[in-house]
Structure formats: structure tokens, C-alpha cells
């Protein structure tokens, strides 16, 4: 019997090498993604005023953050805008997805492709066009305009998520509900909506996060009073790097992470819905 | 509790395509009627029109004498067991069964009582808190049935309710469904493409082909006295053998079948006024014997194929004088006479005259 090549005689050796290589590569990718964020978080605890040298652990920048009323004000603005955007996007996106899924009407295909456009449209274009529109309509810039701007590009994300879920849904579910005495609206509310819940949450979270860190559209549509956190941070960073910004960014990151964790929790919860029937 | 349905010229067209053409059919209160036909024949469309999911483009639908053609599905006293069941995944078994009662605003105490009752009816007590994803196929079907009958509909519609079950379970559920229908005395309308199911369950079968009724009648009549070649061939297997009238007297008709067999049959089996038509010969009516040079009334044939089915064998036999006519015959699958009925063996074929039926339409 001829001697087998080493890779065949020890098939595990080659496979193990490949596996180690892949693991290393994955590690590098993750490092590439997260090192900047980690550095930022670590340096937010650096006591040095001029960023790059580590002088010692300190929470003073977080303390200083508490004293900066304008920052807190803009963080609050961000929250208001993000929550309003989420609610409006969820309602618009869900109903839009239902209409596109359930009904056939002239112009439906056109609407479907137009609705997806804001997702890929350059934000600067969106920002400028909104600004022009608001100016033409004589609408003063403020919370309303920021929220309208954010909803414009956020709700398609909800729509797409819900649409995908709808397409996977048994069309007989709605008929079963109707058959059992539900009106069209009743069938939607009691059967379709609960089935869509995971997609609505996912889309809503997406809308929240998109709005939460949106800069460019906000830049064009906000007034001084309705400036959001990213806008404020951007303004401060233009003046010069500031350890307070590190602390702020770390907190910003925290909010985002909480959002992501919340969605993961919801996804786990969705696997087995709680009984809603009284025992 | 149960009502009759009258389909008064009910038709459905999609543009230029006719899905159902002007069906006239009365289903009696408490009857178990099956709409039987191949897929795409319009039987499901017909059922959906009774449920209210499709609006007929012609005719009226009457329930207990009342016109319900324009009534939306949620206001029809009709409930359906869906193909694939369409159980609500976010609701427990109890939640699913209670759904229809909640929609009707039934009081909480009565709701609990009636849900319990319905679950007991389908022997699902104790599984009320489970979710559809945690049930077996048979249990899901029972939930679907309980969910539909709990509303006490005048008519229960069943759309291929057994198609998601394996063969063994199908038998069990079939028997249960029939028992349930007897107990409730409710009008059942079943849609299926499975002739076994139709024959086993129904009081009457309506055979549908290409959107039109082919024949309506009790299972035995459908099987033994098919009105058309389609019915003969779709319900069970049929050998359609050309036949001509060669004489007759005193309530009997002398007939010659292709292949040379001659028989005297009761006159009511022969379509009045016709010279020739086709005989419907069921495989189990073909009597086989090893060929030993017998003459009439047996015909000589050769076995060309044997299909073993366990309790019986299906044989293809080519008639010697039949102009290439091949019949399907059923033979009990005994081991002792296997050589006599193997491929290539010569056999004698007899067809008892009393079992012959002749297609009225030729």
C-alpha cells in the first residue's frame, strides 16, 4: 500500500491548522471592530486633560458631564426625538407593510420601490431637500422638523422588517380570524399584529438607534433649541478633543448597547409567548 | 343548530377564467356532504364562497333559506377547519378555542364552560395551556375542529382536514370526525381530493370536475353507478370497456363487451335507447382463473404486470381478442397460486353480469 500524503494520514492536523487560522482571523476582525471603542471607553476614565497619555484612573469627566447643562439638554432632546421617531415609524411602517402586503391597488409596485428609497438615499441629499421643503412651506425648524426628517429614513426599516415577516405568515390566519367572527380590523389587531410583534420590535429598535445617532439630517433640520446630542458632540469636537466627549461617547455607547440587549431579550421572549388566557 | 345550504346557480369567474360554473346543489341540514375532485377543479373556491372569503360572480347562496351571498365571513354562522389548520401561534390551545367566543362577546363564565366542553369533545382536556407549536399533527387538527365547533355554527366547512396527517393517523381522525358529526348532528361540508375519504365519510358526494358538478349522490351510487367516465375513473379505479347491445328481452339486455365476453344484464343498467356505450368494470369485479382452455363466458388473457399491495395484488391483463384492451384486476394476494398469476401467465377472465354498469353518456 502506497504511503498516503501527510494530510490524509493525519487529516485532523490539516483541519486543526485551518480551524486555528480561521479563529485567529475572526479574532483580528473583532479587534479591528472593537479596539477603537474600547480605547474610547478606557480613555474616558483617564485623568489627563490632553487625551493621549494615561495618567491615572478617574471618574472626573463623568462628574464634569453632570455640570454641563447644554449637553444634558441635547441628550434629552435626542431621547425625545428618538422616541417620537420610533413611535411614528412603527405605526407608519407596520400599516404601510400591511397595506402593501394585503391589498392590490394601482401604483402599488411604484409605492413599494419609492418607500425603500430613503434607506439608500445619501443623507446629505435628504437633509438639504428637507430643509428646502421646510423653507418653502414656511415651517420653522424645531422638534417637528427633526422628527419628520428622522421618520423619513427610519420608517422604511420598520416596513421592510414587517413586510418580510408578513410574507412568511400563513395567509389562512387572517381568514381563520374572520371566520371566527373577527372584523377585518379585529383580525389584524388580534391575530396579525401579535404575529408581527418580533418584527415590529426589531424595526422599532432600528428606527430608535438610527434616530439616536443621526447627525446629518438633524444638522439641516434642527434649530438651536432642538439640537440633538450627536449635533452637540459634533460641534464640540470641531473646537477640539475633550475628555468630556470621551465620557459622553461612552454613555452614548451604553444606551445603544442597552437597546441591542433589549432586542436580544425580546427575541428570546418571543420564542415562547406567555399564555394570555385566564386559567 | 344545523341548517341546509342551497347553492343556487353559484358561479365564480376570474376575468375570462371560469373557476366554478353555476353550481346548483342543496345540502340538507345535518348532512355530511363531500366536494370531491382533483386539485384545481374549483371545489375549494366553492367552499370559500360558502365561507364568504370569495364573492360569487353569479347566483345566490342560501343558508337555512336565508340569502347570505353578500354577508361578510365574520357574520356568517359558518365555521371552517382550514387546510393546515391555521391555528393562532401566539395563543394557547384554550386561547385558540376561545377566540370565536370572545369575538361573539360570550360572558367569561360561559366562555370557560364552553371551551372546556369543546376540548372534552375532541379529547384534549389537560392540553389547554399548550401552544400549537407544542402539539402533534393529530392534536392540532383536534384543536382546529374544537375551535370551529365551539361557536356552534350552522354548518362546518372542512378544507382537506386530513392532508397534513400521515396515513395511520388519517384513519383514526377520519373515524373521530365521523363520530363527531353524528353526535353534533351538524351539517358538514368536506372538501377533498381523496376518494377513500369521501367514500368512507360522506352521506353524499358531489364530484366536481373543471368547475362543474359531474354527479351528486350517496357513496355507493357514485361508486357503482357513475354517471360519467370522469366519475368512474376518479372514484376508485375503473376499466372502461366498450360494449354494444346485441339483443334483449323481458327486462334484460344482451350485451357484448370488447374482448368477446357476452352477458345478459338487467335493463335498468343499460342506458335507454343507446346502441353502444362503455361498461364500467371495477378491478375487483374481474374474476380470474388460470387458463385451462375454457370457452365462454370466460375470455382469454395474459398477465402483463403484477403490483403487490400486501393484502391483494393488482394485475394488468391484456385480452387476447380485445384489440389490445388491457384490464386491471384485483386478486387476493395468496402465496399458493402465485405461479398461476405471474407475469406472462395465461388466465381466464370472467365478469359477473349483475355487477356491470354502463355509462349513460357513452
Cell 427575541 locates to A267
- Residue A63 resides in a domain: no
d(CA B321, CA B309): 29
Q: Which residues neighbour B260 within 8 Å (Cβ) at sequence distance 6 or greater?
A: B296, B299, B319, B321, B322
- Are B92 and A176 inside 8 Å of each other by CB? no
Give A 178-217 residues with CB within 8 A of chain B: 178-183, 186, 190-191, 194-195, 197
Mean pLDDT of A90-108: 90
3 state DSSP class of B44: helix
> To the nearest whole angstrom, how far is the Cα of A34 from the nearest Cα of chain B?
38
Q: For the segment B310-336, what is each residue's pLDDT rounded down to a tens digit?
A: 888 888 988 887 677 888 998 887 666
> To the nearest whole angstrom, how far is the Cα of A275 from the nearest Cα of chain B?
6
Q: Please tell me whether residues A142 and A49 are part of one structural domain.
A: no
Mean pLDDT of B171-189: 90
Which of B102, B269, B86, B108 lies closest to B160 in space, CA to CA? B86
B297 cis-preceded (ω within 30 degrees of 0): yes
Q: Which residues of A64-80 are buried (b: 16+ CB within 10 A; e: fewer)?
A: ebeeeeebeebbebbbe
> To the nearest whole angstrom, how far is the Cα of B354 from the nearest Cα of chain A?
48
C-alpha R_g of chain A? 25
- Are A175 and B82 inside 8 Å of each other by CB? yes
Which pLDDT band, with edges at 50, 70 and 90, does A274 fall under?
A: very low
Q: Biggest alpha carbon distance in chain B?
A: 80
| A191 contact residues in B (CB cutoff 8 A) | 88, 90
Among residues of chain B, what percentage have pLDDT more than 90? 48
- Residue A6 resides in a domain: no
Among candidates B73, B112, B131 on the partner chain, residue whose Cβ is nearest the Cβ of A178: B73
d(CA B35, CA B159): 10
pLDDT score at A174: 92
d(CA B75, CA B77): 6
Mean pLDDT of B232-253: 86
Q: Please tell me whether residues A197 and A267 are part of one structural domain.
A: yes
Q: Judge whether residue A1 has pLDDT over 90.
A: no
Which pLDDT band, with edges at 50, 70 and 90, does A277 fall under?
A: very low
Q: Judge whether residue A278 has pLDDT over 50.
A: no
Q: Judge whether residue B195 has pLDDT over 50.
A: yes
Is the CB of residue B88 less than 8 Å away from at least one CB of chain A?
A: yes
The residue ranges of every structural domain in chain B are: 5-233, 237-358
pLDDT score at A3: 59
Q: Please tell me whether residues A249 and A206 are part of one structural domain.
A: yes
Q: Are strands B17-27 and B187-192 parallel, antiparallel or unpaired?
A: unpaired
Q: Which residues neighbour A158 within 8 Å (Cβ) at sequence distance 6 or greater?
A: A89, A90, A92, A93, A94, A97, A200, A203, A204, A206, A207
Cα–Cα separations (whole angstroms), residue B173 to B92, B119, B122, B137, B195: 22, 15, 10, 10, 16
pLDDT score at A235: 86
Mean pLDDT of B161-189: 89
Q: Judge whether residue A73 has pLDDT over 50.
A: yes
Q: Please tell me whether residues A128 and A203 are part of one structural domain.
A: yes
- Residue A64 resides in a domain: no
d(CA B89, CA A177): 12
- Are A180 and B99 inside 8 Å of each other by CB? yes
Which pLDDT band, with edges at 50, 70 and 90, does A11 fall under?
A: low
Q: Which residues of A181-212 are buried (b: 16+ CB within 10 A; e: fewer)?
A: bbbeebbbebbbebbbebbbbbbbbbbbbbbb
Mean pLDDT, chain A, whole residue set: 85
Q: Judge whether residue A136 has pLDDT over 50.
A: yes
d(CA B321, CA B326): 11
- Identify the closest residue of chain B to A195 by CA–CA distance: B90
- Residue A5 resides in a domain: no
ipTM attached to this prediction: 0.82
Q: Are strands B32-36 and B299-308 parallel, antiparallel or unpaired?
A: unpaired
Q: Please tell me whether residues A116 and A146 are part of one structural domain.
A: yes
Q: Judge whether residue A161 has pLDDT over 60.
A: yes
- Are B103 and A186 inside 8 Å of each other by CB? yes
Q: Is the distance from CB of B323 to CB of B257 less than 8 angstroms?
A: no
Cell 476614565 locates to A45
Q: Best interface-test mutation with B: which of A180, A183, A269 has the largest number of B CBs within 10 A?
A: A180
Helix (H) or strand (E) holding B2: none
pLDDT score at A44: 84
Listed range (A46-55, A189-198, B203-212) with the worst mean pLDDT: A46-55
Class of domain B237-358: mainly beta
Q: Please tell me whether residues A31 and A105 are part of one structural domain.
A: no
Q: Please tell me whether residues A214 and A145 are part of one structural domain.
A: yes
Among residues of chain A, what percentage have pLDDT more than 90? 34
Q: Please tell me whether residues A44 and A137 are part of one structural domain.
A: no
- Are B151 and A178 inside 8 Å of each other by CB? no
Cell 382533483 locates to B38
Mean pLDDT of A59-80: 86
Which pLDDT band, with edges at 50, 70 and 90, does B156 fall under?
A: very high
Q: Is the distance from CB of B357 to CB of B271 less than 8 angstroms?
A: no
Q: What is the CATH number of the domain that holds A232?
A: 1.10.3720.10
Q: Judge whether residue B137 has pLDDT over 80.
A: yes
Mean pLDDT of B134-140: 91
Q: Is the distance from CB of A101 to CB of A174 less than 8 angstroms?
A: no
Which of B150, B151, B106 lies closest to B128 in space, CA to CA? B150
Cα-based torsion angle of the residue sequence B295, B299, B300, B302 in order, rounded to the nearest 10 degrees: -160
Mean pLDDT of A1-15: 63
pLDDT score at A252: 82
pLDDT score at B202: 94
> To the nearest whole angstrom, how far is the Cα of A142 from the nearest Cα of chain B?
41
| A273 contact residues in B (CB cutoff 8 A) | 89-90, 131
Q: Please tell me whether residues A201 and A148 are part of one structural domain.
A: yes
d(CA B11, CA B42): 10
Listed range (A154-163, A262-271, B325-334) with the worst mean pLDDT: A262-271
Q: Give the residue, A58 or B63, on which the prediction is more confident.
A: B63
Q: For the segment B26-78, what is each residue's pLDDT rounded down to a tens digit?
A: 999 999 999 999 988 999 999 999 999 999 999 999 998 899 998 999 999 99
Residue A145 Cα to chain centre, angstroms: 20
- Are A170 and B74 inside 8 Å of each other by CB? no
Domain that holds residue A188: 71-271
Which pLDDT band, with edges at 50, 70 and 90, does B286 fall under?
A: confident
Residues in chain B: 362
- DSSP, residue by residue, A59-90: -HHHHHHHH-HHHHHHHHHHHHHHHHHHHHHH
d(CA A174, CA A191): 7
Q: Give the residue, A259 or A83, on which the prediction is more confident.
A: A83
Q: How many domains does chain A have?
A: 2
Mean pLDDT, chain B, whole residue set: 88
pLDDT score at A270: 52
Q: Judge whether residue A96 has pLDDT over 80.
A: yes
Mean pLDDT of B212-222: 94
3 state DSSP class of A221: helix
Is the CB of residue A140 less than 8 Å away from at least one CB of chain B?
A: no
Q: Is B7 exposed, middle or buried (0-12, 13-18, 19+ CB in 10 A)?
A: buried
Q: Is the distance from CB of A194 to CB of A246 less than 8 angstroms?
A: no
Q: Please tell me whether residues A242 and A124 are part of one structural domain.
A: yes
- Residue A37 resides in a domain: yes
- Are A186 and B73 inside 8 Å of each other by CB? no
- DSSP, residue by residue, B219-279: HHHHHHS-SSHHHHHHSS--EEEEEEEEEEETTEEEEEETTS-EEEEEGGGSPTT-SEEEE
Which pLDDT band, with edges at 50, 70 and 90, does B296 fall under?
A: low
Q: Tell me the backbone φ, ψ of residue B8, rounded to 5 degrees.
A: -105, 85
HEC states along A12-34?
HHHHHHHHHHHHHHHHHHHHHHH
Q: Is the distance from CB of A159 to CB of A113 less than 8 angstroms?
A: no
> Half-sphere exposure (CA, 13 Å, Cβ side) for A203?
31
Residue B295 Cα to chain centre, angstroms: 39
Q: Please tell me whether residues A35 and A115 are part of one structural domain.
A: no
The sign of the dihedral angle between the CA atoms of A68, A72, A77, A79 is positive
> To the nearest whole angstrom, how far is the Cα of A262 from the nearest Cα of chain B?
20
The CATH superfamily assigned to B5-233 is: P-loop containing nucleotide triphosphate hydrolases (3.40.50.300)
pLDDT score at B322: 67
Which of B144, B138, B51 lies closest to B91 in space, CA to CA? B144
Q: Please tell me whether residues A41 and A83 are part of one structural domain.
A: no
Q: Is the distance from CB of B146 to CB of B99 less than 8 angstroms?
A: no
Listed range (A2-16, A233-247, B229-243) with the worst mean pLDDT: A2-16
- Residue A128 resides in a domain: yes
Extract the C-alpha cell encoding A277. Answer: 388566557
End-to-end CA distance of chain B: 43
Which pLDDT band, with edges at 50, 70 and 90, does A275 fall under?
A: very low
Q: For the segment B102-120, what is each residue's pLDDT rounded down to a tens digit?
A: 999 999 999 999 999 999 9
Among candidates A183, A191, A194 on the partner chain, residue whose Cβ is nearest the Cβ of B74: A183
For residue A190, give the DSSP letter: I
The sign of the dihedral angle between the CA atoms of B269, B271, B274, B277 is negative
Residue A158 Cα to chain centre, angstroms: 10
- DSSP helix, strand, coil percent of chain A (3-state; round to 5): 75, 0, 20
Q: Judge whether residue B211 has pLDDT over 50.
A: yes
Amino acid at each position: 500500500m502506497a504511503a498516503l500524503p501527510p494530510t490524509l494520514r493525519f487529516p485532523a492536523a490539516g483541519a486543526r491548522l485551518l480551524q486555528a487560522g480561521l479563529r485567529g482571523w475572526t479574532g483580528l476582525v473583532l479587534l479591528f471592530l472593537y479596539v477603537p471603542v474600547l480605547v474610547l471607553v478606557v480613555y474616558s476614565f483617564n485623568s489627563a486633560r490632553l487625551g493621549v497619555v494615561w495618567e491615572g484612573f478617574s471618574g472626573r469627566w463623568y462628574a464634569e458631564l453632570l455640570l454641563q447643562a447644554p449637553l444634558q439638554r441635547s441628550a434629552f432632546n435626542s431621547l425625545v426625538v428618538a422616541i417620537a421617531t420610533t413611535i411614528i415609524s412603527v405605526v407608519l411602517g407596520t400599516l404601510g407593510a400591511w397595506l402593501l402586503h394585503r391589498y392590490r391597488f394601482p401604483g402599488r409596485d411604484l409605492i413599494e420601490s419609492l418607500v425603500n428609497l430613503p434607506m439608500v438615499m445619501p443623507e446629505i441629499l435628504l437633509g438639504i431637500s428637507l430643509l428646502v421643503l421646510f423653507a418653502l412651506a414656511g415651517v420653522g425648524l424645531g422638534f417637528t422638523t427633526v422628527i419628520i426628517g428622522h421618520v423619513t429614513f427610519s420608517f422604511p426599516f420598520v416596513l421592510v422588517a414587517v413586510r418580510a415577516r408578513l410574507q412568511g405568515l400563513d395567509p389562512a390566519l387572517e381568514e381563520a380570524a374572520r371566520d371566527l367572527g373577527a372584523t377585518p380590523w379585529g383580525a389584524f389587531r388580534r391575530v396579525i399584529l401579535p404575529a408581527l410583534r418580533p418584527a415590529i420590535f426589531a424595526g422599532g429598535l432600528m428606527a430608535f438607534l438610527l434616530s439616536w445617532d443621526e447627525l446629518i439630517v438633524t444638522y439641516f433640520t434642527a434649530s438651536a433649541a432642538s439640537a440633538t446630542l450627536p449635533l452637540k458632540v459634533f460641534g464640540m469636537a470641531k473646537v477640539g478633543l475633550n475628555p468630556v466627549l470621551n465620557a459622553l461617547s461612552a454613555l452614548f455607547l451604553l444606551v445603544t448597547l442597552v437597546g441591542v440587549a433589549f432586542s436580544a431579550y425580546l427575541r428570546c421572549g418571543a420564542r415562547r409567548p406567555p399564555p394570555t388566557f385566564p386559567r | 343548530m344545523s341548517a341546509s345550504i342551497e347553492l343556487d346557480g353559484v358561479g365564480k369567474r376570474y376575468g375570462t377564467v371560469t373557476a366554478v360554473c353555476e353550481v346548483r346543489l342543496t345540502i340538507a341540514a345535518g348532512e355530511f356532504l363531500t366536494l370531491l375532485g382533483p386539485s384545481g377543479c374549483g371545489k375549494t373556491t366553492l367552499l370559500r364562497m360558502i365561507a364568504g372569503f370569495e364573492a360569487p360572480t353569479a347566483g345566490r347562496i342560501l343558508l337555512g333559506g336565508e340569502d347570505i351571498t353578500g354577508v361578510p365571513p365574520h357574520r356568517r354562522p359558518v365555521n371552517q377547519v382550514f387546510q393546515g389548520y391555521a391555528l393562532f401561534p401566539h395563543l394557547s390551545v384554550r386561547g385558540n378555542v376561545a377566540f370565536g367566543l370572545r369575538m361573539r362577546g360570550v360572558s367569561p363564565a360561559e366562555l370557560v364552560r364552553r371551551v372546556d366542553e369543546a376540548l372534552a369533545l375532541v379529547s384534549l382536556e389537560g392540553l389547554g395551556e399548550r401552544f400549537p407549536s407544542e402539539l402533534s399533527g393529530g392534536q392540532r387538527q383536534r384543536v382546529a375542529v374544537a375551535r370551529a365547533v365551539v361557536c356552534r355554527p350552522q354548518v362546518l366547512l372542512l378544507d382537506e382536514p386530513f392532508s397534513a396527517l400521515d396515513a395511520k393517523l388519517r384513519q383514526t381522525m377520519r373515524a373521530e370526525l365521523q363520530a363527531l358529526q353524528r353526535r353534533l348532528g351538524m351539517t358538514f361540508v368536506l372538501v377533498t381530493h381523496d376518494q377513500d375519504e369521501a367514500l368512507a365519510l360522506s352521506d353524499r358526494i358531489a364530484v366536481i370536475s373543471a368547475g362543474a358538478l359531474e354527479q351528486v349522490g350517496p357513496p355507493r351510487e357514485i361508486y357503482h353507478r357513475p354517471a360519467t367516465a370522469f366519475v368512474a375513473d376518479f372514484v376508485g379505479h375503473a376499466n372502461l370497456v366498450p360494449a354494444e347491445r346485441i339483443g334483449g328481452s323481458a327486462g334484460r339486455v344482451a350485451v357484448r363487451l370488447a374482448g368477446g365476453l357476452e352477458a345478459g344484464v338487467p335493463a335498468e343498467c343499460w342506458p335507454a335507447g343507446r346502441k353502444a356505450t362503455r361498461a364500467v368494470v371495477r378491478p375487483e369485479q374481474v374474476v380470474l382463473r388460470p387458463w385451462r382452455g375454457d370457452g365462454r363466458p370466460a375470455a382469454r388473457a395474459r398477465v402483463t404486470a403484477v403490483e403487490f399491495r400486501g393484502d391483494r395484488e393488482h394485475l394488468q391483463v391484456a385480452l387476447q381478442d380485445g384489440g389490445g384492451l388491457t384490464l386491471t384486476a384485483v386478486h387476493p394476494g395468496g402465496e399458493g397460486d402465485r405461479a398461476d398469476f405471474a407475469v406472462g401467465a395465461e388466465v381466464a377472465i370472467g365478469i359477473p353480469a349483475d355487477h356491470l354498469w354502463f355509462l349513460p353518456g357513452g
